[in-house]
Structure 1
Amino acid sequence: MLRKALALAGSALQQQHQPWRTIACRRSSGVSSAVNSIILRSLKDHYLEVSKMTPPPKVSPPSPFTVLKGALDHGGPVLRRTHGNEEISISVMRLANIIAGGIADEEEDGINQLFLHVDISKPGQKESLHFLCGLYPDALGIHSVSLRSKTESSGFLAVPTNYGGPVFQDIDEKMRDALHSFIEERGINESLFPFLQAWLYVKDHRNLMRWFKTIGSLVNDRKQGASHA
């Protein structure tokens, strides 16, 4: 009899507390919905603002370089050309995207310095010659020269498995000059800057638009899912 009474009392108490749990759940759901609405409104405003930005004038790459199809949608090579029996590919990124913090000071030429990854390969050779270069509007400098296996990824974060060679500045000056002449003969010089700078602007703009749109879709799906819960 006592056990039955306790059970009934417990059931009554549970029913009394149930409305509080319902209110808390509704309050949490309301806050989440309000936060989602703020995010979606902000994303939409930024998306519209960025979409109105004026792109730079269209610039063509110096002949005989050609733009790889789909280069704007991946992180691989941007330009390609042949030189005799050599195949040359160029990847590019902005200094501001790789220094600590992700943002460079424009006064320190963070926007006007690009990094090039130049791969020069020949048929039948297992390795390619890889140059890491700094590109400015009026100059190009070599940071390093190394050999890379053709099977290795040419992405920016790839780490060569072979010996990377000596520090470039430690190489004999005549050899450094000869290596500069070597890549200049293949069209790797400051004439690439206008195209690559404009190309990076378009790529960054496209990535930013895609980011706003994707985040908005994810938040909106979550909001719709919560409303059906």
Structure 2
Amino acid sequence: MALIAFLRCTSGKRSLLAGVAVWRSLRFYGSVTNIQHRRITFPLGSRIFLPFHLSSFSYKANRPASDADLVRVIDAEIKCAEECDDHDRVEEIAEGFPFQIQDEKGMNTITLRRNYHGEDIEVLVSMPSIVTGEDPENIRRVGGNDEDNRDKLTQSSIPLTINVSKHKGHGLEFCCTAYPDELIIDSMSFREIHESSEEMLAYEGPDFSDLDENLQKAFYKYLELRGISAMTTNFLHEYMINKDSSEYLFWLKNLKKFIENC
């Protein structure tokens, strides 16, 4: 009765009759599917107020069955990831670790920072990777002719980008590969910290491998004194392996949420 009174006040007799017809249709065709496929016409100029919005029908009713299959597979993968000991393990920071760690959830890198005798040192640490030994570039970098070096081709490694700067002026940048017990400098450049387009073309030095052997050794010692030691690389390996597991689980859960809510 309340609906009929409302329609009478707003649209007059013609709208009332149309509204009653719609209401009866809705009662008879009570399911979402029937309403969606039933065509309803109204007299020209009539204003009809329905008890709900047709646009509010949930997309879930038309969701492909493949979506449910995908969610089931993701659930299985989440369960498997949660059974892994690494995803929630917090690596204990050794006493005397010289860096502050900046680790943001959802990022595939962490940043280490410290000040050393007026120098600002920043280390960007990326996710670990396993090399297969089939890449010629990996063989060249670690020295594939040496049996000990060939063992590194199947070891876990993490990329490091180390920046050493003074008073926001010039700085050294080292691109390195860290193995559990060893650091390899892949390249080194000396440049402005904030480069302009012209400064990006400036000469930054020769390839690190072309430097005199004694000079190369001196730079390894230079980094060690600034905290890039075997202790640091060992810790970073364990830390990044745990982060990789944790981020994968976080990614799976976000992926599931997206599939379910789309």
**Contact in 2 for aligned 1:59/1:194 (Cα 8 Å):** no
SS at match of 2:102: coil
| Matched residue type, 2:231 | S
1: CA distance, partners of 2:81 / 2:109: 25
| Structure 1 residue 188 corresponds to structure 2 residue 228 | yes
Aligned mates of 1:208, 1:183 — CA distance in 2: 32
CA spacing shift, 1:72–1:63, aligned 2, 3 Å: farther
Alignment match, 1:79: 112
Code of the aligned partner of 1:42: V
- Alignment pair present for 1:63 and 2:103: no
Query: 1:7 corresponds to which residue?
Result: none
Cα RMSD of the aligned pairs, angstroms, is 3.2
The whole-number CA distance in structure 2 between the counterparts of 1:171 and 1:35 is: 58
Give the counterpart of 1:211 among 251, 254, 261.
251
Q: What amino acid is aligned across from residue 120 of structure 2 in structure 1? A: E
Q: Deviations over 1:82-133 (max 9, x none)?
A: 2100111111222449x999xx9xx75444222211111111x423211112
Alignment of 1:168 with 2:208, yes or no, is yes
Match of 1:126 in 2: 169
TM-fit CA distance, 1:183: 1.1
Q: What SS class does the counterpart of residue 131 from structure 1 fall into?
A: strand
- Is this contact kept in 1: 2:103–2:109, CA < 8 A? no
> Which residue of 2 is the match for residue 150 of structure 1?
193
Query: How many angstroms apart in 2 are the aligned matches of 1:92 and 1:100?
Result: 24
Structure 2 residue 232 is the aligned partner of structure 1 residue 201: no
Q: 1:139 aligns with which of 169, 182, 196?
A: 182
Matches of 2:255 and 2:93 in 1, distance apart? 33
Q: Which of the two has higher C-alpha Rg?
A: 2
Counterparts of 1:209 and 1:128 in 2: how far apart (Å)?
37
Structure 2 counterpart of 1:136, which letter? Y
Question: Partners of 2:217 and 2:111 in 1: how far apart?
Answer: 26
Q: How many residues align?
A: 182
Q: Deviations over 1:158-182 (max 9, x none)?
A: xx66434211111112211221221
1:117 aligned to 2:146?
A: no
Deviation at 1:50?
0.4
The one-letter amino acid of 1:126's match is: G
CA offsets per residue over residues 38-72 of structure 1, 9 Å max, x none? Answer: 00011111112101210257231562423333345
Q: Give the share of equivalent positions with the same residue, in percent.
A: 23
Mapped to 2, the partners of 1:205 and 1:132 lie a distance apart of: 25
Separation of aligned partners in 2, 1:148 and 1:217:
45
Q: Give the structure-2-normalised TM-score.
A: 0.59
Q: What is the CA–CA distance in structure 2 between the aligned matches of 1:88 and 1:191, rounded to whole Å?
A: 17
Gaps of 5+ in 1: 1-21, 23-28, 153-159, 223-229
Is this contact kept in 1: 2:78–2:252, CA < 8 A?
Answer: yes
Task: Write the letter of the residue equivalent to 2:234.
Answer: P
